[in-house]
Amino acid sequence: MSRIYDMLKQADAGRRAPFEPPPGKLAARVVSVVNNKGGIGKSTIANNLAVYLRALHEDLPILILSLDDQSLVERMFHVDGQSPRESLTAALRRGTLERAICLGQYGIHYVPTCRRVSALKQEIGDPQFMRQTLAHTGRSGVVVLDTKSDLEILTQGALLASDLVLVPVSDHASLQEAERVFGLLDQHGVPRERARVVLSLIDLRVKYREGEQRDLLGLLLSEIRRRGYPLLQSYVSRSPKVESLYSNPEGRAISVLHGAKGSPASDQFYHLAREVFAVLGPPTGTDAEAAGFVS
């Protein structure tokens, strides 16, 4: 593990551009997890990041929602007896999430997934829709947006609403798709520094020739440096223990913090959450005081 952190620090050293938040900031800080390639841990990162952000600052409100049609959000955060007054799809059509938000496990607020959310792709024309929806919702704290494995209008909405875009990369194919994410930022005039590559589910058993690129990690870091992508010093490794947390007789998904506390995966998510806070900077106003960011 220490070797990986050392390599990430070297790859990031001396070239991180200053973070530039979007103009006209919302009351909440918004973090999205985006890559066109599936199977690289986007939902695992989004859901567990929400839990660790909340654990680090227990008085800071955290809201998570998924623009995918998978059910991991409900399986991790649902509390019996809690149900929204309207669906995510209806809320987005109305332009505010207020009636779709539930209080879930671990003190996290969440919006249940809607199987019909993809239908909105045919209705939404303005990629600023998510930013406008969050502004009308009036949430404070941190909002985490999980996205579908595409770069269509719903995902673009998450990108443009975000203070920070996490771009998971696990292999060469996902790195190529990351190039499309940064291309979208360029297309919309968003500084690339608002996004960060985060290495996810890296298989260190993949070996190459000797030298800097002797394994998959070295190859990816070399390519990330060559392309000039901003990079987090945190990473998330593939873990059978984490995968087991999503399969049990109750059908629930258990967070890494509560199901694998003290494991390497827990240390990785703790490191990731701290770095996300460091990149975003402390929140302002009463939430900052309640969460202990200011004296």
Q: Which domains are seen in the chain, by residue range?
A: 26-278 (3.40.50.300)
Collapse the DSSP code of 6 into the 3-class scheme (helix H, G, I; strand E, B; otherwise coil) and give the result: helix
Task: For residue 224, give the nearest of 273, 286, 175, 272 by alpha carbon.
Answer: 175
- Separation CA 156–CA 154 (nearest Å): 5
**DSSP track, 222-284:** HHHHHHT--EEEEEEE--HHHHHTT--TT-----HHHHSTTSHHHHHHHHHHHHHHHHH----
| pLDDT per residue as tens, the chain (295 positions) | 556 666 666 666 545 555 555 655 678 999 999 999 999 999 999 999 999 999 999 999 999 999 998 878 999 999 988 889 999 999 999 999 999 999 999 999 999 999 889 899 999 999 999 999 999 999 999 999 999 999 999 999 999 999 999 999 999 899 999 999 999 999 999 999 999 999 998 776 766 665 556 777 888 898 999 999 999 999 998 888 888 998 888 889 999 999 999 999 999 999 999 999 999 986 554 455 544 444 3
- Separation CA 17–CA 206 (nearest Å): 31
Task: For residue 237, give the nearest of 167, 165, 154, 170 by alpha carbon.
Answer: 170
Q: Return the pLDDT at 294.
A: 40
At 38, list the tokens.
């599936």
Cβ contact 104:82 at 8 Å = yes
CA angle 155, 157, 162 (to 5 degrees): 100
Sequence-separated (6 or more) residues with CB below 8 Å from residue 219? 172, 208, 213
**Distance, first Cα to last Cα, the chain:** 35
